[in-house]
Amino acid sequence: MRVFVVYKSGTGFTKAYAEFIAADLNGALVPFKDRRRLKPDPDAVLIFGAPIKASALPGSRWFLRNRGRFKKAYAFAVGASPADSKDLPAFLEKQKRAGLDLFYMPGGFCWEKMSRTTRFILRNFFLPAVKKAEGEESEMYRTVSHSYSQVDKKFADPLIQAVKKEIASD
Ligand SMILES: Cc1cc2nc3c(=O)[nH]c(=O)nc-3n(C[C@H](O)[C@H](O)[C@H](O)COP(=O)(O)O)c2cc1C
């Protein structure tokens, strides 16, 4: 069964997971900007991944509109939080209520690869807001004030296994 992995990625974390998934499932990688080249295929699996931005998943409207054009569709979200973050269940539950059943993969933060505008906004608005709300010693503030990566293929395995199960039952 053909597998297409459509991904959005600003600083490379989602791309790294998309590459793990495509390599393991022998799938084709499709950057989100090229999504229109993807033809509807009722025999194929569609996988969509994007980074969480301000508690939302950019590109998910495209996924929700197009997933019915494939045999089976899966979506994953990549965020700054660790896999066991206490904030994650509420986010995933909210997305599920909106029809999006997500696999979560912990990404990271890469100040060096962010656009200048994003860096400016984070530095001048987001970081001061976190500092004010949670304090300079808070986990959240310490986490996002530097670059780090939590990327590990093991976090992509639950999605990969679900797709393999689907392919085997075909
Ligand atoms: C403007 C902005 C908003 C973000 N909002 C969230 C968020 O609400 N929750 C979260 O877990 N991560 C958030 N992040 C962190 C990204 O999701 C994280 O850095 C991710 O690994 C980026 O993936 P990418 O390298 O594929 O772009 C935000 C990052 C930026 C730049």
As a whole number, mean pLDDT of residues 97-103 equals 95
pLDDT for residue 101? 95
Q: What band does 156 get if pLDDT is binned at 50, 70 and 90?
A: very high
pLDDT for residue 164? 97
CB count in 10 Å sphere of residue 7 = 25
pLDDT for residue 140? 81
Kindly give the distance from the C-alpha atom of residue 51 to the centroid of ligand 1, in angstroms, as a whole number. 6
pLDDT for residue 139? 80
Nearest residue (by CA) to ligand 1, atom 31, is 118
Examine the pLDDT at 95 and tell me if it is beyond 90: yes
Range with the lowest mean pLDDT among 85-89, 93-97, 105-109?
Answer: 85-89
* 3-110+148-168 homologous superfamily: Flavodoxin domain (3.40.50.360)
Choosing from 6, 52, 91 the residue with most ligand 1 atoms within 8 A of its CB, the one to mutate for a pocket test is: 52
Q: Where in the chain is the domain with CATH 3.40.50.360?
A: 3-110+148-168
As a whole number, mean pLDDT of residues 63-89 equals 95
CB count in 10 Å sphere of residue 18 = 27
Examine the pLDDT at 142 and tell me if it is beyond 90: no
pLDDT for residue 114? 95
Examine the pLDDT at 17 and tell me if it is beyond 90: yes
Residue 106 CA: nearest ligand 1 atom is 21
- For the Cβ of 95 lying below 6 angstroms from any atom of ligand 1, the answer is no
User: How wide is the angle at C-alpha 155 spanned by C-alphas 11 and 112, nearest 5°?
Assistant: 15
Q: Which two tokens stand for residue 87?
A: 């904030």
pLDDT for residue 86? 86
DSSP secondary structure string for all residues of 63-99: HHHHGGGEEEEEEEEEESS-TT-TTHHHHHHHHHHTT
Residue 87 CA: nearest ligand 1 atom is 11
Nearest residue (by CA) to ligand 1, atom 19, is 109
Q: What band does 170 get if pLDDT is binned at 50, 70 and 90?
A: confident
Element containing residue 109 per DSSP (H, E): strand 108-109
pLDDT tens figures, 23-32 = 999 999 999 9
User: Please, what is the average pLDDT of the chain?
Assistant: 95
